[in-house]
Structure formats: C-alpha cells, structure tokens
Amino acid sequence: MKHAIELRELTKTYGSRRGLTGLSLDVRAGEVFGFLGPNGAGKSTTIRLLLDLIRPTGGTATVLRLDPRADGVRLRARVGYLAGEFVCDGRQNVRAYLRFLAALRGGVPQGRIDDLADRLGLDQSAKIKKLSKGNRQKVGIVQAFMHTPELLILDEPTSGLDPLVQQTFLELVAEAAANGQTVFMSSHIMSEVEAVADRVGIIRDGRLAAVDTVTNLRTGTVRDIEVTFARPVETAAFAAVEGAGQLHLDVSGTTLTGQVTGSPDALIKALARHTVTGLRATEPALEELFHTYYEGANAEPRTPTQPA
C-alpha cells in the first residue's frame, strides 16, 4: 500500500463558514506526517472527515484504501484515534476502562496496556473522574496505541502533558514508525513535530500551504551567522558571496556578522580562505518556518510540493 491516506479536493463548509477548501494530500504508508496549523486552521475538521465523524461537503477521502463512510466499521478497527478533546467515562477506574476498550477491539494483552501505562506514569487504579487533564490525556494515548493499529490519527496529542511525558510520547511515535505503522499527527507545537515527522503539511485557513520534509522547507530560509577570524579581514572578501546579505565587520575587523539566505555553501568556501577561530550559524526552527506561511492575513499560500 503506497498511501495510507489520500484526500482529493476535500471540502467542508458549515453554512457560510469555511472548514476546508479543496484539500488534496497523500500520506505515505509507514511515515510520520505532521499536520501543522493554528487553532481554527482546519486540522480537527480534516481528522473528523477521515473517520466519518462528520461528512464532507465535497471531494473524497480514502483511508487505508477504504471509504470512511461506506467502510467505517472496518476502518476504525485498523485505526488508533486520539481526539483533540479526549472524553472518557468517569465512573470507572483507568484499568477497567482500558480493559473495556481492549475488549471492543478484540482483545489486547494486559501486559501491553501495563507497559504503556507504566512508561507514561499512569496510575491504573485511579478513578477517571479524579484525573487531571494531563493524566486523562495519558489514558487517551494508551487507548490509541495499545492495539498496535496500522494507522494512528492523533489530534493535538500532547495537550496537558508535562515535558518528560511529552518526550515519552515522542518515543512511542518513533517506535510505531519503526514498526511500520503510519502516524498522522495534528499539532500547533512545532518542536514535537520536528522531532519525529518525516514530512510536514502546513494548513492555513482551510487550505494546504505547503507539504515537504523539514529540510526542504528550510530551503531559502535565512540563517543568522557570526564568524571570528584570527586576523582582520575586509568586508569586500564576502561581497560576492551568493545568498549573503547585510554582512558587516566589527571595528577590529575580526568578527563578521549578518545573514545568509539558502545554502551556506558559498559562504563556507569564502571563509576557507581565512583562519576562522569561531563560527555560529543559527538553524531556523520549524516554528520560524511555520510563521512564514502566515505572514499577513491576505498572503497567498505557497504552492505545496508532494514528491511521489
């Protein structure tokens, strides 16, 4: 199976309000796909359409080669889903609740549930109604992962988790990918997506603004640089460097600062003619890249690239 998710011109409107506008996207089988966007961009709407929790106004969605509407029961048996607002029955304790869900899925070894709960620091004897938001989120993570589904669909999965548990969650995602599972993860937290995603899709106002690897999305971005030399140099030595702009030396002529757009290769070759004693280049974070797609309310989305 080449693609776990295929969306073609998927559209959802709520009366006069826009949800999604012509979303086309392929998520490859076995990859971790990060779906980025601020609240209200269309992330949760997309996920609900994938699971037939809501119906599209137009376009099509295929998940694991199945139609979410016609094959909903078969599809959901093969998917692990964590909703953006995870709700569970507060009358039970955690262990009983997870056993109930495991039975609905045809049975899950108790050892698998215990292992996930222990790694996340989840007390299975606690009553669900007494759990904090973070601990309820742990229950949601366990129920999504415990039956080792072919496809994990996770909507803002680390909401309410402390940093240590967030790291454990990212380890679980990496292990799922290594096991051949596909992970579709919606988030507005760039660092967690950057840590595990093979590719990233950026959605803006219900439209896809870009799809690519983090490395490729960084192409053409600006890096801040600072270089120190053993002896004074002239600014003119770097005037013709491709992509270098706003470079200037301090009064001693031994510290060069400025910005480089795109690949720093030309600058590195120019620096090699001198004795460099220090070099600092700030790699743009995914968060900075994300915001470039939201510059100005009327900015046009950039054409997404989707390599086969």
**Integer CA distances (angstroms), 206 to 19, 21, 157, 209, in order:** 6, 5, 21, 9
Residues 137 and 265 in one domain: no
298 found inside a domain: no
Q: Do 123 and 228 fall into the same domain? A: no
Residues 97 and 164 in one domain: yes
Kindly report the number of other CB atoms within 10 A of residue 21's CB atom: 18
DSSP symbol at 70: T
Question: How confident is the model over 27-61, as pLDDT tens digits?
Answer: 999 999 999 887 778 888 999 999 999 999 999 99
Using CA atoms, how far apart are residues 64 and 104, in angstroms rounded to an integer?
20
In a domain, residue 167? The reply is yes
Read off the CATH number of the domain in which 39 is found: 3.40.50.300
207 in a structural domain: yes
As a whole number of angstroms, the distance between CA 87 and CA 81 comes to 12
Number of structural domains (the chain) is 2
Q: Which residues contact 160 (CB under 8 A, 6 or more apart)?
A: 132, 133, 134, 136, 137
Query: Could you give the CA distance from residue 3 to residue 65 in angstroms, rounded to a whole number?
Result: 8
Q: Which domain holds residue 103?
A: 3-213
pLDDT classification of 90: cutoffs 50, 70, 90: confident
How many C-beta atoms surround the C-beta of residue 250 within 10 A?
11
Partners of 160 in beta bridges: none
Residue 208 or residue 251, greater confidence? 208
Q: Give the pair of three-digit tokens for residue 305.
A: 């690239």
The whole-number average pLDDT for the span 279-285 is 76
C-alpha pair distances (Å), 81 with each of 2, 129, 154, 277 = 21, 21, 6, 52
CATH number at residue 277: 3.30.70
User: Would 290 be classed as within a structural domain?
Assistant: no
148 and 34 fall within a common domain = yes
Eight-class DSSP state of 284: P
59 falls within a domain: yes
Residue 266, domain member (yes or no) = yes
pLDDT score of 102: 94
Last residue of one domain, picked from the residues 213, 232, 248: 213
52 and 159 in a single domain? The answer is yes
Q: Are residues 99 and 146 in the same domain?
A: yes
Residues 199 and 252 in one domain: no
pLDDT of 114-136, one tens digit each? Answer: 999 999 999 999 999 999 999 99
